[in-house]
A and B are shown apart, each in its own frame.
Chain A
C-alpha cells in the first residue's frame, strides 16, 4: 500500500515536471490521473488498491460524525428536561481489538457516542470500563455501537 501511494506521488511530480507548471492544481491533476492508472493496473500490485482503504476511512469518519451529532442531541435533551431522572453507572465491555492504536481509536469514538465515556482500560485482558449516563436506556445501544465501530476500525487498520 505504501508503494502505491509513493508511486502515485511520483506520477504527480512527473506530471508537474512535464507541464513545467509548479502549482498545486497541476499536481492534483497528475495525482488523479496517476490514481486512475494505478486503479487500472491494480492486478499487478501485491496488495489491494489503496483507494479502498481511503474509502473505509471516509466511512468511519461519517459514522463518527453521525454518532457525535446524535449523542449531543441526547445529552442536551437530558439536560434541558425539567426534572432530571438519570441513573448513571459503570459497566464492563469486552473488546477484541489488540494493538494500541486500535484501542485508542475505539476509545476516542466511544467517548463521543451517546451516553458513554470510557473510564478505565485494561488492554491485556481486553476489557473496558464504561460510564453510562443512563444505564437502563443506553447499555444495549452502547454495546451495539461498539460492535459497529470495531468492524469499521478493523476494516481500516488491517
Chain B
C-alpha cells in the first residue's frame, strides 16, 4: 500500500460522502411536510455535501498534479457564505407571501407578534 493509493481512497471517500449527503437531503425534499422544514434540509446537508465534494477535488489536484487551485478555495468560501443567506431569503419570502406552516406545527410566535403590531404599522404608514 503506497501513498498514492491511500490518497486515492481518501479522495474517493470524501467525494462519495458528499454525494450521499446531497442525495439524502434531496430525499428530504420529498418526505418533509412544508417549505420551512425543507429549507433546513437544503441549507445544511447540501452545503456540507458540496463542501466535501469540493474539498475532495481540491485534494485531488493538490496531490496528483501539485496544483493548489485558488478557484476551488474561492468556490468553497462562496458556497459557505451564500447557502445560508439563500435559505434565509427563501423562507422569509415564503412567510411574507403567506405560505402556510404544516399542520404538525405547534407554535407561531411571529404571527402573534404581527397581530399585535398591525395597528402600529398602519399608524406609521399614515404618518410618513
Contacts and interface: CB of A to CB of B under 8 A. Distances in A.
A68 B47 contact: yes
Interface residues of B, number: 38
Contact of A90 (B27, B33, B104, B108): B108
A18 interface: no
Interface in B64-121: 81, 84-85, 87-88, 91-92, 95, 101-102, 104-111, 113
Contacts of B102: 88
Q: Is the interface of B mostly helix, strand, loop or mixed?
A: helix
A84 B33 contact: yes
A108 B40 contact: no
A58 interface: no
B43 interface: yes
A86 B21 contact: no
Contacts of B33: 84, 88
A99 to B, nearest CB: 18
B110 A120 contact: yes
Contacts of B81: 108
B109 to A, nearest CB: 5
A55 interface: no
B44 A75 contact: yes
Interface of B: 21, 24-25, 27-28, 31-34, 36-37, 39-41, 43-45, 47-48, 81, 84-85, 87-88, 91-92, 95, 101-102, 104-111, 113
15 contacts: A72-B44, A75-B25, A79-B25, A79-B27, A79-B41, A80-B24, A84-B31, A84-B33, A88-B104, A88-B106, A90-B110, A91-B109, A92-B110, A117-B87, A120-B110
